[in-house]
Each structure stands twice: as structure tokens, then as C-alpha cells.
Structure 1
């Protein structure tokens, strides 16, 4: 069954992977086929090939359908009737109710970015364009509007068309909605902490929890309790099965009743991937117990995963699905092998430790891929919180039906208890590649020692294994560059990271209204690189696409020094407003001018423009951009902001450079022939996204071709990384 599931997973993801990974997937498939060929029966091989063909066809067809609909929406001016079905912190989720356009069906989703306040259930009309999401292409960037997973085909706003409210709050009179609304009203009578946490625990409704607590739940390893999952389904099953057992002493009836109540609970909270997985596995468990068959957790996981992937291959792209099944696979396969913990006499502590540790080990690849780290006190937090969850959930359910004072007081006490421990244990270990290798070596050394102690491997094999690990990490450390520069894909804007010997520098923040680019793009990339502190943050000039994400970055990352042009044209309303938002959060603000420099060991950054007295004749905000020359060894990199006509004022200062950040996103008003002929860059980086300005212009691209410069456009290449060593450098695109 495991081999068949691996085959199904590969078939589902093939339409989405980069072509460079196809040989790897083909090799894995070949191994699977080889294993199946060596079995006595050929039935598993036939089944595997059947699933491979069916799931690949379904996955390819579903991807093509989504792509065709997305492309169609971009080419039409539409009239739509829409219902607001979810209210998020910075956007609304809309469901299409009615349209005359071909191919669009009721139920398809869009997002609305608006400064106006709407309520869930509001009906609006829209006439205009549907804009496509810009998929930022950076390592560590997780963008939640994956059109294949969420069927969100684009977004609208007041700037893309005309929006009118038709009805304010349409009433949905279904029984489920009525009961949920009544339950939420009663839970809202709790104190602030209880009213925010209880709806999340009972219904998965996190809208009332502060972002601060959401982060503490994630960092403490308790985020799973705020999303209705197998834990909640299991608790509901356990509560009712236990009650029926006490009353009737009938085991079969208790299993059936427990499952039925868990199913009812699932209907109320909604069938998300984790809920569907849990209730399906619970059904298999209930059938096995009532019919007297042996139950296998691992087989149950495999069967349910295969069913869901066959029905909807795109579910594999859902992060919730990945984490849900990853956790259960950890419990099924890793937990039984943690025999070292069998020495703990207290069975409760032993089981919690086994489950928590196995889940963390299983989810380590996903935590590293999405968040570049792991909650280091997860075991402690789960040991302290897990025992109170069954009575807590039971009390919430009772209070939603019978709002008695004793229930309210107990819920509020337990809510405070959970929130306090989530705060105390909220320490997230951010892991770079080198740290990950180091942790892996320590972990594998411990495992190797345990295997050696139990005479599974010999001393010679253990020493050889440790030597291989040491050589591996030594090789990685040896090839580490001296200077790292990352030109991020932030859409239409600039954001550049520089790292050298523990010093972290950021040039511009990016910024697009309505996208939370700092929170969703820049901060994840910084954390992906293991950066938790910025020693220097340069703002080249006061345009929003260069400084707009300042607040979001400062809220998450410590910034020691903010550096801005020492020029009166910097102090626009945009800059003043954004700077006010971070007042008191940055240690030091420094005005820099022509001639100033920053040195870190052998790295030097010199400001070439502007002087404090410089007065541009035109485009003052662009032409006072900081122009800076970075030099390390023989490698020179020139950063130009959005400088335009001011190029001629500094051209006499410019040396030949290896890498040039093209000014103003490739606008024809910058990067003149004279400028490029003087700098002669081997590589040119153009930071640009979807825009209506024609960036990058054909003239600039022709000029770059004229000097045989390799240009990299972040809209297509994604993040561009430059690794500089004592001799030479390497330029690499994130998307090849």
C-alpha cells in the first residue's frame, strides 16, 4: 500500500514541478516499480500503474482548468454579484453568485482588498477587471492565495473597478448557521481571552484571536489546537464514547455513538482536509472495533490519503493536508520506534512525549520548508496543555448549550492557563541550512550511538558514518560565500538583502498597497535566511514601492540603524507617515550623503549620491535616490534606487562593475547608453512586477544586449542571489 501511495503522490505533483525535478521523480518511480516487480503477485504493480495514470490525468486536467479560467478572467471586463463569505484581517473572501460571463460558475472565489468595512454575508456588485495574484518567487515565501488549492482566481479592489453594496448582511437561515451563530453569541459573553480562544477551539474560528497570540501558538507548537483537526474529532469521540460506556457498559454502542457525535461535530465546523481525514479514519476505526477486526493506524492513513488524492489530486498542495497527514504518519511510524521513552513509568507522560516528539520529527521537513524552523518547547507546551483540552472542549460545548456561570468561570480560567503557557513556551528556533546540517549530525550521532549500544551496527560502521557526516558539513561550510546579496522578488518594487560575517543589511523594503508584502514576503525570506536582526536598513528614496513595508518588517525583525538620504526631498508625506508608524522601534536614524561609507571587515559600501545640497531639476523623489557602490575584493556591485536624469551628475564617479541593479525597474528614463557604457555590468538585475508603466522598457533591454550584459528580471527569474568569494562570484536565479 505504501508503494502505491508514493506512486499516487508523484502522479499528482508531476504537472506542477519544475522540469529539473522530473529525473528525480522518474528515479523514485523506477524504484517503486522495481520493488513491485519483485513481489510474487503482479496485482500491486497493476494497481499502482492504474492509480498513476488516473491521478496524473485528473491532476493535469484540474490544473489546466484552473489555468484556463484564470487567463480568461484577466481578459474580460466583468459584471459580478458577489457574497462575502470570509472576513480576514486585511482582505475579504468573495464567492461569485451570479454573472453573465462564460466559463465562470457560481461558487468560484475572488478576494477583495478594500478600506471599507464589510460583514460576512454582505452582497456586493462589481463591474471591472479581475487582477491576477502576483506569485512572489522567493525561497521561504509562502503565499496563501494558491489558486490551485483555494480556487481563488484573482482579486478586486476600488482601483480595479466599481463596487456597490447591494444588501447589508443577508440572512442565511440554515439550521447549522443558526446554531453556530447562537453558539458564538454565547461564547462572546466570556471575558476577552475566553471569547477569543473558545471559538477557535470549538469551531476553528481564529478571527477574534490577536495576531500576537496566533504567533505564540505557532512558536510554542500549539497552533494545532486552534484549527479543528484530528485532535478535536478524537476528543469529541472520546467524551461521548466514555459517557455511553459508563451509562450502558456497551462498548459497541459507545463506539457508534462516539463516531456519530464526532460526525455531527464535523458537519458543524465544516469539512476541511484535516477534518475529513480524521472523520474518515475514525469511521475505519469504529468499523474495525464494532466488527472485531484488527485496526492498523498506518494502513488507515495510507487508505484515506489514497482516496483523497484520487478524488482531488490538488489537495496535495494544501498546507493543511500536508501537516495533517505528516503528523499522523509520524505517530504511526515514528512513535512506536521511540523505545528509549519506554523507560518512563508514567504512561501519560510517556505517550505525550512519544506523540509530540514523533510529530515534530515528521513535520521537521515541512516546518523547515515553510517556516525555516521549529518550536523547541513544543514537548513542554503539549505536556502542560494537552491534559486540559478534553475538559476544556467539553465545557465549551456545554456552555454553548447551557450558559451556566460555573461553566463560564472554568472556561475563562482554562483559557488564561492555555494562553499563558503558549506565551511562556513560545520560542521558535530559526534554522539556516548550516544549522540544519549541524542539528542533523547531532541527531544522527545520537541515533548511531543508540544503534551501536544495542549492537545493531558495529563500531567501525558507526565511526565511518560519523566521518561521512563531518565531511558533509565541512564541505558545506567550505563553500559558504564571504558576501551574500539577494535581490528579492517583491513585485513592482525594490528589496535587497546583503550579508557578511554576521552583519545584515537591507536596501529598501518593497511595498504594494493591499498586499502586506513585508509580512508575507520580506519577513519570511529574512527568517528563511536565519536573519532576526538588521544592522543597517537603507531607504533609497521616499516612494511607497521602496519603503511601504517598513512597519511590517520592523514589527517582526529588530532594526538597529535606519539610513536615509541627507536631502530635504526625502521628507515627503509618504515617508513622514510611514516613519511615524515605527517611531521608537528603531534604535538610530542616520542621514547619509555623498562621500559617506560603511565598512564591515573587507566589505565596503560607499555613497556616491546625493549630496546634502543636491537639488534635482525634475522627479525629485527619484533623483535623490541613494546610489551606492559595494566592493569586496575584485567584485563591485552598484545599487541605484530609482535614479533618472541624475545619472549624468555621477557618471564621472562610476567604475566598471560586475553587477548593476538597474534603476527605476528598467524605465526608459534611466540606464542611459552612456551610463551603461561606463559601468559595463556583466550582470544586470531588474526588480519589477506586474505594472502599467511598460517596465522594463525595450530600450533598456536593447541597451543591455548591446553591451552583452546578462539581465535578470525578477518577475520571471524570482529572487536573484549573488554569492561573492575572495576570488569571483556566482549569480543564480531562483526560477530557472
Structure 2
């Protein structure tokens, strides 16, 4: 790597026992710098892009063979004040209430979501109110109100009170880590507070533009930051559409004309939530592959309670000198946390709380914007006819443009040293073949398989295949089974038992899932063009094998004139058993058995199969040295194209029955 690539910042990860450097220290050591990994699978989190937006371009791995020297340093006073203030907030809320409430308060006051209860986070996400856990304009608004009341109580003179408010907003930005969404809201609030001092009326659009320019002049990479994008999209959408609603809605349901304070506030909050969702919907759909449906109602009920919790949180900080009163405030916070947790769980329990969506393209976002424009033109009397025509035209383009095409999708995922593949048939039915490993360090099911399924808009699986009971193939299913129901589980014949295998069988048995063991020669007809032919294992042969790899489910996927062979972890003995099928083994694409080990893919079997393309699912730098150079050379001798997941990530193939091709997904 060139020196220029690392002229800014990079991640430093230190593994092993010993002293951990503190902020401000200098670390002297030797290590290997590696580039950050980009997307390896469709729907994958792009670490390279994410960290590059923060000016971080690599990771430095320090070899434990080399001694590391830590030179103690001292941080600037302001940084030390921020760190001690954050510690004070954490300690105060932890002493005043239980861990679940303290985790919520830490997120609301500091923007630190590391301690939030995972169930609460998931329910908030499914309900569409996850934004309240990210410190943003909502929280800056609460701070502005608190500071305004505070300066009024202690009678700070007019003008100076606004200076105090602005300084308080700056301190809050520093305390919460200087996130773009917080800075945007603080700049807008600060300008709103400041303009009366200089006798200038504040123009909201000028304020938004100034805030955006100021942030981008400080760091142009903010333009790619999700928080920046969502924050500005939401506030622009609220300002524009809320004003439009006030113009278009009849007086009976228009908060501008309603006198009852409760109804006025509730309806206003609903319209603010709706306005924000209009502007952020394509962004949240593209990033999170979900469209929140029930969030409009959930926001009306949860957001006000969150506001009260924020106020209670500051009361806990102010009362920290008195354990009795701080714990009393903590109990109130616990009660409110319990209420919003129940509400979030209640709303997320509805099957329609959110709609999963597949990959969002730029054209989808553009058409969405045009549809919104068309709808509002319809509500304008002078342009109603044009708006209706425009709306119908765009809706027609979207419907026909997204009409399902009769193709079969075969996706070989990159799950490190393991196997996982997904087949999506032309009729929409799905088959998951294995799901990678799961251990204390890595969960490939949660990290890769679930995001892939979400990315493709899949809500349930029709078939799940456990090729054989080894953890590097079925471990990831431990996470998948909790998120995606499956109609039929296909299991192999084997006397092998492990915690992972036994747990999965127990879990699937408890669910309305049919568990089957396919027989050799059995055919599963999907459509007239698509079918699965099971070639192994034979029940007697597989049980007799000491090596459970040879009990792998082997099947041939036929799509019209195209065919694909999945061989699990088959080794030599299993290869020999397959040879009996002769020419029926000939396929276009072969998933190499056992990660390309020396004990797989014999010359005789490869000659019979005669594939054009071979897929090797293998982990980079794995301890088994897979794939074997001998097997790779054998494939090259047969002039077979090779796709290795450790080199190239996932492989997405599509077939219409006449030909197959690679689909670009990066």
C-alpha cells in the first residue's frame, strides 16, 4: 500500500493480553496494514465505504511476536472534559436505575447505543421509531427547551441568555460525539436563537442551506453519511410537506384551525411524522430494506414519552448528589421505559408493522419522487388533470417495469470457511442451502445470510437444506431460524450429533416445519422448467460412513437447458458413489465439494461432470489451506472457469432456461 493511502486515520485493533492504550497515548509497534473489506455479498455492510467516509482506510494488525511500547500521553483539557462528562452521565444513570433503562438513557443523552437492550432495539426498528434512539434534531429540540427554561429561571438578561443557549448546544454536540445530524440541528437551533439579536428575521431555507454548507465545508465526506442524508431529508420534508398539509387539509382535520390542545398536538405530531416519512422513505427502504407502516401511529404514542424520559434523564444528572432523589427519578424513567418497550413490542407484533422490500435502484427513487409530486398536483385544483395523468403514467411504468421476470436466481454467498447458497425460483419460491458457520467470534447466518434474504425482499423460505451436520454449513441456521420461517427442512441421513445440529432439529420440530430426508433418485418438481434431482446420500451408505462429509445431500438443479450441481462436503468415497449416475451428472455449474480439499473432486468424477464453471466456497487464509493447489490445477487442466469466494466474494447467477449469466450486484 502506498503511503498516501494512509495519510489520515486508520482503525487500530489490538488482540491479546496486556496493557490497553488509553486515549492520548502513543503506541509504538510493528504490524501489518490491511485494506478494509468492501461488500462481499448482496445486502452486505460495506465496511470500506463506511469507514472511508470517516477518513479511515485500513486496519493495522499488530503481531504478538513484536513488543509494543505505550508512551503515556495527555489529552487536551476540552477532550478530557468531554470524556469525564460522558463518564459522569453513564455512572449517574447506572446508579439511579436498572441496566435496561440506563442503556436507553445513555443512548438518548449521549448517542451511545452500545448498551441498549437488543430486543428493544429490534422492536423499535420493526415499528419504525428507531430514530428516537439516535441523537438528532428531536433531542436537540429537547435540549433547546431545557436551556430556554433554565436561562429563564435564573433570569439571565436577554441577549446573554441566547449566548448561554448557543454555548449549551455546542457542549451538547461535543458530548454526543459531534454526529452530523446533531450538528445540523444545533446549527439550525443556534441560528434561530441568534437572528433576533442582530434584528434579522430567520429564513428557514437559508438556515438549512447554511447548516449544510458549513458541515460539508468541514468534511465533504458527510455527503455520504447516512445520518447526514436522513437528517437533512427529514427536516426538509417536514418543513415543505407540513406546510403543504396545512394548506390542503380541510379545517375539520387541520391542526392550524383546531382549538382542542390535545387533538391539535396529536394531529400535528402525526403530520410531522408523515411528512418526515415521505422524505426519508426511499432512503430507509434502500438502506434497511423495510418500509415502516405502523410507525405513523407508533410515533404519536412513543415520541412524547421519549421526550419526558430525556427530561427525567437530565433530572437524574442534576440530582446525582442525592441518591434518594436520583433513584426516585430513575424509577420514573424505568416506568416510562417499560411503557415504551411494551408499546414497541405491541406494534412490532403486527405482521404489517413493516413491509420488507428488495433492492432499491435509483430509478425507483426517482419514480417515487415523481409519484409524490403527481399526487400533490392532483390535490391542486388548477393542475388536477395534469397531476392525474402524470400519476397514472408513472404508476404504469413502475408496475410494468417491476413485473416479475421468469428467471431462476442462484446465489453462492461468501460465508468465509463454510457454505451457503440461495436458490430463488421463477415462481418466487426459495430454497436456502446451508448458512455458514456460527461460533463465539462469528455468526455468518446473522452477518451474511439474513441481510441477503432481506436484500432480496424474502419473508419466508420454502425449503431449507442442511447438507450435513457440520457447523461450517449449518451453524448460521441458528440465527436464520429465528427470523425466517421455513415450510420444509431437508436433512441428511446420519448418526452424527452435535449441540448445533440437535438444537436446530429441536427448534424446527417446535415450529410448523415439515422435516424430510430426501431419498436418492427423488425428484422435486418446482415448475415445468425447474426441478431438483437428489443424487445422494443413500440412507444405508451415509450411515455406514465414519466421515459425515460423505453423507452430504447432493442434488442437481435443472432449469430448462441449464443445470447446477451442489455437492456439499463430498469427498472421495462420496465421489465414487456418484459415478453410478454417469452422464446425468453433466452440468453447466459445479459447486466444488469440501471447499476444494485434496480429498474432493476426483479426476474421474470431474471428467464426467464436465462443467463450464466451478464455484469454490472457501475462507481467506483458512487454517486448512483450502482449496488444494492440486484440485485447482485439475480444474484449470479441464479449462473450467473458477470462482473462489475468498477472492471474489459472492457469485450471483441467473438462468432463463436457455442460458445462464452472472448478475452484477456490487
Same fold (TM over 0.5): yes
Aligned to 2:517, what secondary structure does the other structure show? strand
Cross-structure match for 1:477? 403
Give, in whole Å, the separation in 1 of the partners of 2:19 and 2:224.
26
Give 1:508 shift: 0.5
Give 1:275 shift: 2.6
Give 1:438 shift: 9.9
TM-score, with structure 2 as normaliser: 0.82
Name which of 204, 207, 224 aligns with 1:300.
207
Partner deviation per Cα, 1:658-711 (whole Å, 9 max, x = no partner): 222222333344333333332222333232331244444554444444444443
Partner deviation per Cα, 1:274-325 (whole Å, 9 max, x = no partner): 3333333333333323222232343333333333334334444443333333
User: Is it true that 1:65 corresponds to 2:2 in the alignment?
Assistant: no
Equivalenced residue count is 632
Give matches, 1:48-127, under 5 Å: 64-65=5-6, 83=20, 97-101=25-29
Cross-structure match for 1:38? none
User: Is it true that 1:392 corresponds to 2:392 in the alignment?
Assistant: no
User: Which runs of 5 or more residues in structure 1 are unaligned?
Assistant: 1-59, 86-94, 103-127
Cross-structure match for 2:238? 331
Give 1:529 shift: 1.3
CA gap 1:556/1:251 in 2 versus in 1, 3 angstroms: farther
Give, in whole Å, the separation in 2 of the partners of 1:587 and 1:79.
43
Give, in whole Å, the separation in 2 of the partners of 1:635 and 1:470.
33
CA gap 1:78/1:462 in 2 versus in 1, 3 angstroms: closer
Give, in whole Å, the separation in 1 of the partners of 2:493 and 2:45.
36
CA gap 1:222/1:84 in 2 versus in 1, 3 angstroms: farther
> 1:666, 1:686 within 8 Å by CA — same for their partners in 2?
yes
> 1:82, 1:98 within 8 Å by CA — same for their partners in 2?
no
Cross-structure match for 1:647? 575
Give 1:496 shift: 0.9
With 672-681 and 614-623 compared, the bigger mean Cα shift is at 614-623
Partner deviation per Cα, 1:418-457 (whole Å, 9 max, x = no partner): 2222222332221236999999989966753541452454
User: Is it true that 1:233 corresponds to 2:123 in the alignment?
Assistant: no
Cross-structure match for 2:477? 550
> 1:724, 1:730 within 8 Å by CA — same for their partners in 2?
yes
Give 1:516 shift: 2.5
Give, in whole Å, the separation in 2 of the partners of 1:193 and 1:78.
29
RMSD: 4.2
Give, in whole Å, the separation in 2 of the partners of 1:612 and 1:134.
42
Give, in whole Å, the separation in 2 of the partners of 1:626 and 1:280.
61
Name which of 118, 125, 128 aligns with 1:211.
118
TM-score, with structure 1 as normaliser: 0.75
Aligned to 1:477, what secondary structure does the other structure show? coil
Give, in whole Å, the separation in 2 of the partners of 1:155 and 1:565.
43
Give 1:392 shift: 2.6
Give matches, 1:179-328, under 5 Å: 179-188=85-94, 189-191=96-98, 193-245=100-152, 248=155, 252-328=159-235
Partner deviation per Cα, 1:85-128 (whole Å, 9 max, x = no partner): 8xxxxxxxxx79443347xxxxxxxxxxxxxxxxxxxxxxxxx8
Give 1:412 shift: 2.8
Aligned to 1:282, what secondary structure does the other structure show? helix
CA gap 1:304/1:673 in 2 versus in 1, 3 angstroms: farther
Cross-structure match for 1:724? 655
User: Is it true that 1:139 corresponds to 2:42 in the alignment?
Assistant: yes
Give 1:612 shift: 1.5
Aligned to 2:437, what secondary structure does the other structure show? coil
Give, in whole Å, the separation in 2 of the partners of 1:211 and 1:483.
36
Name which of 624, 627, 635 aligns with 2:554.
627
Cross-structure match for 1:415? 337
Aligned to 1:541, what secondary structure does the other structure show? coil
CA gap 1:573/1:673 in 2 versus in 1, 3 angstroms: same
Name which of 690, 701, 707 aligns with 2:620.
690
Partner deviation per Cα, 1:339-398 (whole Å, 9 max, x = no partner): 435741345345423432232222223212221112212221221223334333122211
Give 1:523 shift: 0.6
CA gap 1:358/1:61 in 2 versus in 1, 3 angstroms: farther
Give, in whole Å, the separation in 2 of the partners of 1:687 and 1:545.
11
Aligned to 1:137, what secondary structure does the other structure show? coil
Name which of 591, 595, 609 aligns with 1:661.
591
Give, in whole Å, the separation in 2 of the partners of 1:254 and 1:220.
39
Cross-structure match for 1:584? 510
> 1:657, 1:681 within 8 Å by CA — same for their partners in 2?
yes
Cross-structure match for 1:366? 283
Give, in whole Å, the separation in 2 of the partners of 1:460 and 1:317.
35
> 2:374, 2:390 within 8 Å by CA — same for their partners in 1?
no
Give, in whole Å, the separation in 1 of the partners of 2:616 and 2:374.
49
Give, in whole Å, the separation in 1 of the partners of 2:385 and 2:103.
56
Cross-structure match for 1:499? 424
Aligned to 2:416, what secondary structure does the other structure show? coil
Give, in whole Å, the separation in 1 of the partners of 2:2 and 2:356.
38
CA gap 1:436/1:281 in 2 versus in 1, 3 angstroms: closer
Aligned to 1:83, what secondary structure does the other structure show? coil
Partner deviation per Cα, 1:485-523 (whole Å, 9 max, x = no partner): 221222332111122324221001012641332222211
Give 1:636 shift: 1.6
Give, in whole Å, the separation in 1 of the partners of 2:631 and 2:473.
21
Cross-structure match for 1:562? 489
Cross-structure match for 2:261? none
CA gap 1:467/1:396 in 2 versus in 1, 3 angstroms: closer
CA gap 1:68/1:294 in 2 versus in 1, 3 angstroms: closer
Aligned to 1:565, what secondary structure does the other structure show? coil
With 332-341 and 355-364 compared, the bigger mean Cα shift is at 332-341
